């Protein structure tokens, strides 16, 4: 037997009990003839004292950090209690010590605040995961999963596992593929999402489906992307958009309440068009204001060539920063928006000083009257600064959105422990791409146009298509897209039309999605769904920017697991069995 209790369990009421504990040596210190060892496990830390036994004491002094030991002893009340520790009232007076395993000196400190850089911690992820701060994240994730299942099962959702070895139908993102040995020359694909399967489950009559499920996308990885990630994937039948928003608003509130003890208010809703014109983003961070104000009509035609040539002149008002933002700060901001990642040509501003004076580099083109008009439009008062960008409308909005977030960061308006959820609704159905001269699905090819637009979608012209709106929605939390979904097409003809609009020939649509088109002919119910990014949800709920902190064994930006050293070269015999060759040299 390795233990009678865990290292987080013993209390003052256990005094005089004979106990056995096992765990890791978190710290040890000699104190005259006594040695104190902090014994750690997942549940806590218990102090063990070695005294009055020279032999045992000697053994205890030889223990290194992270040694795994078993200790027998008696529980005793501590003289100097430690109120910061659940077991801080007691200690174990050891009568026996067994070293279960030794440890080399770890390559970094196993503490919440560690000296280990990212690379070394990833290589030794099993040691990184020993740190309380990292364990906490995985326990949190596990709790969010438990509460998700509890809520959805309580709402009659059934969890159904969909297959991982499916068919490659790349549309948008690239598929990971898996060569089939038994079907020479053919490949499975790993699912980018269980989309078609969950729709088939609706055709089967499962009514309410969910799954916490791994998905895969072979994309070039940015900081916050992983090739495999986890979704809370859901689908419901006989529902409208309203039913889905209510259900998943309920889920989100439940998770915040049970996992963080936070009561979220009802979620506001905003159309995609509003979000774009107010914040230049379909996932606005509404923890703070600074909405966009269009100045195009009042700023053009006054002789300032930059504005005169612009499609859009748009401003945000930044309150109470006039005295705080020196020219130096404003120059910094200007350089910031001119970086290639943002791409603005420059940054105009009007500073409304506390003393009533107005300062702006634009003052040789505009009168004080002009500036006051702008101030009125922007709601700017003494002490505020309005920042202005101009140019091609879509680009300029994106740039100003970035500036708005940067100002929010600088002004401490994006507090990670404040949570402002938002439904963004009424997304466009299709996006036109000038380069490839075709439409792309804004959400995915299975999304339905709004009910009253179905007729115009079946018969409309190019302009009509551009303006179609979908029953498609995103849940945005603190500027992060947590999830998205839509009401789906459930009619074969409409689905075929959509595939056609997306540039898919009839045979291609049939070969890729024939099973779904076929299913729509046998009594498909109206249905819709949503998927939450589970890794991201956990991160945002914890006020973290990094989904990696919530994944036990994440991959790096090259898609590598540096701990196990994968991917790797495989045996020629494996390749031969799979009927494939590698077209590059092994390096």
Residues 538-577 that bind a second copy (CB under 8 A): 551-553, 555, 558-561, 563-571, 574, 576-577
Question: Given the rule CB under 8 A, which of 287-295, 321-329, 395-403, 579-587 is the region that contacts a second copy?
Answer: 579-587
Per CB under 8 A, contacts with a second copy among 8-37 are: 22, 24
> What is the dihedral sign for C-alpha 299, 302, 307, 308?
positive
Q: What does the alpha-carbon distance between residue 242 and residue 232 come to, in Å, rounded to a whole number?
A: 19
**Which CB atom, from 384 or from 471, has the smaller least distance to a second copy?**
471
Find the part of the chain contacting a second copy (CB under 8 A) among 144-152, 246-254, 397-405, 431-439: 144-152
Per CB under 8 A, does 190 bind a second copy? yes
Which residues, including other chains, have CB under 8 Å from residue 278's CB and lie 6 or more apart? 270, 284, 291, 292
Does position 108 interact with a second copy (CB under 8 A)? The reply is: no
Q: Determine the interface stretch with a second copy among 145-153, 281-289, 384-392, 445-453 (rule: CB under 8 A).
A: 145-153
Among 248, 374, 490, 532, binds a second copy (CB under 8 A): 490
**Backbone torsions φ then ψ of 59, nearest 5 degrees:** -60, -40
Q: How far is the CB of 108 from a second copy (least distance, A)?
A: 11
Listing DSSP states for 475-489 in one string gives EEETTEEEEEEEEBP
Pick 87 or 478: Cβ nearer a second copy: 87
CA distance 50 to 60: 7
Check residue 218 for interaction with a second copy (CB under 8 A): yes
Cα separation, 203 vs 375, in Å, equals 56
Q: Does 330 bind a second copy (CB under 8 A)?
A: no
Q: Is 451 in the site for a second copy (CB under 8 A)?
A: no
Q: Report d(CA 255, CA 429) in Å as an integer.
A: 30
Q: Is 44 in the site for a second copy (CB under 8 A)?
A: no
Q: Count other Cβ atoms within 10 Å, centred on residue 292.
A: 24
Choose the binding region for a second copy from 403-411, 420-428, 439-447, 578-586 (rule: CB under 8 A): 578-586
Beta strands at 187-189 and 269-271: parallel, antiparallel or unpaired: unpaired
Could you say which of 50, 176, 325, 374 contacts a second copy (CB under 8 A)?
176
338 interacts with a second copy by CB under 8 A: no
Those residues whose C-beta lies under 8 Å from the C-beta of residue 431, and which sit 6 or more positions away, are 439, 440, 441, 442
| Residue 458 binds a second copy, judged by CB under 8 A | no
- In angstroms, give the least distance from the CB of 494 to a second copy: 11
Q: Is 343 in the site for a second copy (CB under 8 A)?
A: no
**Does 419 contact a second copy by CB under 8 A?**
no
Q: Considering the rule CB under 8 A, would residue 254 count as an interface residue with a second copy? A: no
In this structure, the number of other CB atoms found within 10 A of the CB of residue 123 comes to 17
| Residue number with CB closer to a second copy (110 or 337) | 110
Nearest CA among 3, 186, 5 for reference residue 98 = 3
Q: Which of 16, 79, 113, 182 binds a second copy (CB under 8 A)?
A: 182
Q: Which residue, 186 or 277, is less far from a second copy as judged by CB?
A: 186
Choice between 143 and 296, CB closer to a second copy:
143
Measured in whole angstroms, the distance separating CA 53 from the mean position of its chain's CA atoms is 54
Using DSSP's 3-state secondary structure scheme, residue 370 falls into: helix
Overall size of the chain counted in residues: 587
Q: Which of 76, 174, 338, 377 binds a second copy (CB under 8 A)?
A: 174
In the region spanning residues 381 to 400, those forming contacts with a second copy, defined by CB under 8 A, are none
> In the complex, what is the shortest distance from the CB of residue 375 to a second copy, in angstroms, rounded to a whole number?
48
Min separation Cβ 523 and a second copy, Å: 4
CB 464 within 8 A of CB 457: yes
User: Cα-atom radius of gyration of the chain, to the nearest Å?
Assistant: 30
Q: Is 499 in the site for a second copy (CB under 8 A)?
A: no
* Residue with tokens 């995915």, as numbered in its chain: 444
Among the listed residues 29, 33, 133, 238, the single contact to a second copy using CB under 8 A: 238
> Is the Cβ–Cβ distance between 318 and 350 less than 8 Å?
no
The answer to whether 192 and 164 have CB atoms below 8 angstroms apart is no
From the list 83, 185, 265, 412, which residue makes contact with a second copy (rule: CB under 8 A)?
Answer: 185
> Binder to a second copy among 49, 87, 192, 197 (CB under 8 A)?
197
Task: Examine residue 454 and tell whether it contacts a second copy (CB under 8 A).
Answer: no
Q: Which of residues 52-91 bind a second copy (CB under 8 A)?
A: 66-68
By CB under 8 A, is residue 43 in contact with a second copy? yes
Contact assessment for residue 164 and residue 213, using Cβ atoms and an 8 Å cutoff: no
Q: Which CB atom, from 228 or from 308, has the smaller least distance to a second copy? A: 228
Q: Which of 516, 520, 490, 532 is nearest to 196 (CA)?
A: 516
Q: In what order do the strands lie in the sheet with 480-487?
A: 158-159, 208-216, 228-237, 527-533, 480-487, 472-477, 421-425, 269-271
* Binder among 61, 102, 173, 505 for a second copy (CB under 8 A): 102
């Amino acid at each position: 037997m390795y233990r009678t209790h865990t290292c987080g369990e013993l209390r003052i009421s256990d005094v005089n009990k004979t106990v056995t504990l096992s765990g890791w040596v978190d710290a040890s210190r000699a104190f005259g003839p006594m040695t104190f060892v902090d014994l750690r496990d997942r549940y806590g830390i218990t102090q063990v004292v070695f005294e009055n036994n020279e032999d045992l004491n000697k053994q205890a002094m030889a223990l290194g950090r992270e040694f795994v030991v078993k200790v027998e002893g008696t529980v005793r009340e501590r003289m100097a209690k430690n109120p910061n520790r659940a077991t801080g009232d007691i200690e174990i007076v050891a009568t026996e010590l067994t070293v279960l395993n030794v440890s080399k000196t770890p390559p970094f400190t196993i503490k919440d605040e560690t000296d280990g850089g990212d690379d070394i911690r990833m290589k030794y992820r099993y040691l990184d995961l020993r740190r309380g701060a990292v364990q906490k994240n995985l326990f949190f994730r596990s709790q969010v999963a438990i509460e998700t299942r509890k809520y959805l099962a309580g709402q009659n959702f059934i969890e159904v596992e969909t297959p991982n070895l499916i068919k490659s139908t790349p549309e948008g993102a690239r598929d990971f593929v898996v060569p089939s040995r038994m079907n020479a020359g053919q490949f499975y694909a790993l699912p980018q999402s269980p989309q078609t399967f969950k729709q088939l489950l609706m055709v089967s009559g499962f009514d309410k489906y969910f799954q916490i499920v791994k998905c895969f996308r072979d994309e070039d990885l940015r900081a916050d992307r992983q090739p495999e990630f986890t979704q809370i994937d859901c689908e419901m039948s006989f529902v409208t958009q309203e039913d889905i928003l209510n259900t998943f608003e309920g889920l989100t509130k439940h998770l915040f309440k049970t996992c963080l003890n936070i009561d979220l208010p009802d979620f506001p809703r905003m159309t995609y068009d509003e979000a774009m014109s107010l914040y230049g983003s379909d996932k606005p961070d509404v923890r703070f204001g600074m909405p966009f104000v269009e100045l195009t009509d009042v700023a053009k035609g006054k002789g300032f060539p930059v504005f005169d040539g612009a499609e859009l002149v748009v401003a945000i008002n930044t309150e109470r920063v006039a005295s705080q933002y020196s020219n130096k700060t404003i120059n910094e901001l200007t350089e910031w928006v001119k970086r290639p990642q943002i791409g603005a040509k420059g940054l105009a501003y009007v500073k409304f000083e506390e003393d009533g004076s107005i300062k702006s580099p634009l003052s040789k083109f505009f009168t004080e009257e002009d500036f006051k008009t702008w101030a009125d439009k922007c709601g700017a008062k003494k002490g505020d600064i309005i920042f202005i960008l101009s140019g091609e409308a879509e680009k300029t909005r994106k740039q100003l959105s970035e500036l708005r977030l940067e100002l929010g960061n600088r002004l401490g308006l994006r507090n990670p422990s404040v949570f402002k959820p938002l439904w963004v609704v009424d997304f466009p159905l299709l996006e036109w791409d000038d380069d490839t001269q075709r439409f792309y699905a804004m959400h995915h090819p299975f999304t339905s146009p709004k009910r009253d637009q179905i007729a115009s979608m079946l018969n409309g012209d190019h302009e009509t298509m551009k303006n179609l709106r979908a029953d498609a929605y995103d849940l945005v939390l603190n500027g992060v897209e947590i999830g998205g979904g839509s009401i789906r097409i459930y009619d074969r003809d409409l689905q075929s039309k959509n595939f056609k609009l997306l540039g898919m020939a009839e045979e291609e649509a049939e070969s890729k999605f024939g099973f779904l088109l076929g299913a729509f002919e046998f009594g498909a119910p109206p249905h819709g769904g949503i998927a939450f990014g589970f890794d991201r949800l956990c991160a945002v709920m914890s006020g973290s920017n990094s989904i990696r902190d919530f994944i036990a064994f994440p991959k790096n930006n090259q898609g590598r697991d540096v701990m196990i050293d994968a991917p790797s070269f495989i045996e020629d015999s494996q390749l031969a069995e799979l009927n494939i060759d590698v077209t590059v040299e092994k390096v």
